Amino acid sequence: MPEAFDLVLHGATIVTTREMRPGTIAVRGGRIAALLDRDARPATAETIDATGLHVLPGLIDPHVHTRHPGMTEREDFLSGTRAAAAGGITTLLEMPISSVPSSSAAGVRRRLESMRPDACVDFGLYGGAGEENLEAIQEQADAGVVAFKTFLQPPPPARLEEFRGLWCTSPVALREVMASVAATGLRHAFHCEHAPLFLELQRRLEVAGRVDGPAHADSRPPIVEETSVAMLLAMAEEARAAVHAVHLSSPRSARLVADARARGVDVTAETCPPYLFLTREALGLHAGFAKCNPPLREAADVEGLWEAVRHGTIDVIGTDHSPFLDEEKARGFQNIFLAPPGLCGLEIVAPLMLTAAHDGRLSLPRVASLLSTRAAEVFALPGKGRLEPGADADLTLVDLTADWTFDHRRCLSKSRGNMRVFDGLRLLGRVVSTFVRGQRVFHDGEVTGRPGDGRFIRPERRVPLTRV
């Protein structure tokens, strides 16, 4: 008698980075046990008929700010991971900003203790690397962080404690920080904006009375990002470091990355939905609700960034999910510089990218790479990002025929108002079910996962993808 499986999913089209084909997925013990022919019906405890749907490797969001523990009225780890499950995300990587910043081993452990009981999906943690905590970098790696993050600009004065050990503005100190992270073998992520440029440009705009929404984009033109990216890449080449440029908004930044790779620099790159689906015009309409750093760009920049996505210069799509209260974002209607920067994206990134595939901007296998497989490779996440035997049974089941209109009020994030900039957008494709290690955590509009079922993920190796 054939050995029974825990779950068999049949009828769906399996989407990998290489192909799309009909098939049957058999799950045992939380892992994919076999990929079978479309007509296979093996013995199993549970069967799901997914006829007409597509299944992608469980989505991975490499850029999330729940900031837990912190201001729970904005977001907590339960609401954040519930929103992730609803968005088809099976693993998220949490950035180090928090009232307990993960910039030391003690900080990492304290955040883990507070996160584990509430996690509905799997998660990893970034460590923080700054000029204040060089001695704590190795201990964070030993505590299990998946990567490090450094901000190349100072934090807002009111948020110094949240950013403790996370930033570095001195090029001399940055060389030491980069060398210390390189010694751990983990990837080193950077927020790239040149502070002297944007601080002076903002000052001049304010003196001239420009505090309208588009003034934010004028205070941080593309050169602000590009100058910082260029410095990062030069230093990474010297240090032989594995670096990751987050939320790129400029096509020229992407070209700098491509040129550095051609020289042998180990650099990966990310962009985010706002830079692919919005333009600076949204700042005029929505003010603070469209404010993010880097800011939204011109339509020509958006198209140039799509080219970088299609050509593979951009490795991953992260949401940069950044929850803030409506009243905090609304300050931007009076003065854009008073509104905090950041949009939420956990629940809309998949529908946006499925719509882009429907519109012919990219293929579904490329969506699978950008939203899952490549992130698992970049951050060495064991068992993640693959639809193959032995991998975790993380599955995102989507309906490509769903035709619907986005309304932020239906979302689960506590700061769902941060997504109102997408209201009224027609979307083609939506998440039907989300499985984490074979357990269904979301189905047909309802979160079915239990708090505490999500696991902490450590990287499986500490070596970069390539070496110079």
Output the domain CATH number for residue 402.
2.30.40.10
Final residue before a domain boundary, out of 378, 405, 432: 378
Rounded Cα distance, 366 and 281, in Å? 28
Res 464 pLDDT > 50: no
| Domain co-membership, 256 together with 359 | yes
| Domain co-membership, 158 together with 220 | yes
Where does 8-101 have alpha helices with state H? Answer: 77-86
Output the DSSP codes for 326-392.
HHHHGGGGT-GGGSPP----TTTHHHHHHHHHHTTSS-HHHHHIIIIIHHHHHTT-TT-S--STTSB
Taking alpha carbons only, the member of 60, 33, 97 closest to residue 382 is 60
Q: Which amino acid is at 35?
A: L
Residue 456 within a domain = no
| Domain co-membership, 258 together with 401 | no
Rounded Cα distance, 260 and 439, in Å? 41
Final residue before a domain boundary, out of 378, 399, 433: 378
Residue 268 within a domain = yes
Which band of pLDDT confidence, cut at 50, 70 and 90, is reported for residue 461?
Answer: low
pLDDT at 153: 87
In Å, how far from its chain's centre is CA 389? 26
| Domain co-membership, 35 together with 161 | no
Mean pLDDT of 410-417: 97
Final residue before a domain boundary, out of 323, 350, 378: 378
pLDDT above 90: percentage of residues in the chain: 93
Residue 457 within a domain = no
Residue 17 within a domain = yes
Res 232 pLDDT > 50: yes
| Domain co-membership, 301 together with 396 | no
pLDDT at 468: 31
Residue 264 contacts by C-beta under 8 Å, 6 or more apart in sequence?
237, 466, 468
Residue 132 within a domain = yes
Number of domains in the chain: 2
334-380 pLDDT, tens digit each: 999 999 999 999 999 999 999 999 999 999 999 999 999 999 999 99
Mean pLDDT of 228-237: 97
175-215 pLDDT, tens digit each: 999 999 999 999 999 999 999 999 999 999 999 999 999 99
Q: Is 139 helix (H, G, I), strand (E, B) or coil?
A: helix
CB 128 within 8 A of CB 165: yes
Helix or strand holding residue 113 (H, E): helix 105-115
Residue 314 within a domain = yes
pLDDT above 70: percentage of residues in the chain: 98
CB 150 within 8 A of CB 192: no
Residue 458 within a domain = no
Q: What are the φ and ψ backbone dihedral angles of 242, each rounded to 5 degrees?
A: -95, 110
| Domain co-membership, 420 together with 329 | no
84-131 pLDDT, tens digit each: 999 999 999 999 999 999 999 999 999 999 999 999 999 999 999 999
| Domain co-membership, 321 together with 413 | no
| Domain co-membership, 119 together with 230 | yes
Mean pLDDT of 1-10: 84
| Domain co-membership, 413 together with 350 | no
pLDDT at 1: 39
| Domain co-membership, 299 together with 425 | no
**Domain of residue 83, residue span:** 58-378
Q: Residue 246 is part of a domain; what is its CATH number? A: 3.20.20.140
Which band of pLDDT confidence, cut at 50, 70 and 90, is reported for residue 466?
Answer: very low
Residue 417 within a domain = yes
383-412 pLDDT, tens digit each: 999 999 999 999 999 999 999 999 999 999
Rounded Cα distance, 303 and 194, in Å? 24
pLDDT at 462: 56
Rounded Cα distance, 393 and 387, in Å? 8
Rounded Cα distance, 308 and 302, in Å? 10
Q: What are the φ and ψ backbone dihedral angles of 190, each rounded to 5 degrees?
A: -135, 135
| Domain co-membership, 41 together with 130 | no
What 8-state DSSP symbol labels residue 220?
S
| Domain co-membership, 256 together with 356 | yes
